[in-house]
Copies of this chain bind each other. A is one copy, B any other.
Amino acid sequence: MPKIYVLVDLCMVPLGTATPSVSDFVAIVENKIRQSPLKSTLHSAGTTIEGPWDEVMTLIGELHEYAHEQGYARIHTEMRLGTRTDKHQTAADKVNTLESKIVKLNENK
């Protein structure tokens, strides 16, 4: 299983639940993510998880299995992810770089 470092932005939703609210589902999944040793950041449309490919993909597969065990019959997931060999970059690095560049864009006006 590949071990390349990956940043994955994960959005998991259950299908076929009694109500349109999915926050109970997302809370138990997010809680599981926080119990893992991998670094993660929650935002309103998902959670970014970072680490070696095998550990991240094992965790996400385990989240699916865990949710099914909790009675969720179907899970629909969307991931946005990136790998790169030119440099190492964390999720926090990406936001910091952007905020600095936006400050400079507005100074130059």
**Per DSSP, are chain A's interface residues mostly helix, strand or loop, or mixed?**
mixed
Q: How many residues of A contact B (CB 8 A)?
A: 66
How long is the Cα–Cα vector from A9 to B9 in the complex, in angstroms?
11
* CB-CB nearest in chain B for A43: B43
A81 to nearest B CB, angstroms?
A: 5
Chain B nearest CB, measured from A92 CB (Å): 7
Kindly identify which residue among B68, B73, B79 contacts A78, using a CB–CB cutoff of 8 Å: B79
Q: Which of A47-84 contact B (CB under 8 A)?
A: 48, 53-54, 57-58, 61-62, 64-65, 68, 73-84
Instruction: Please list the 3 inter-chain residue pairs (A to B) with the smallest Cβ-Cβ separation, ordered nearest first.
Output: A2-B61, A16-B20, A9-B45
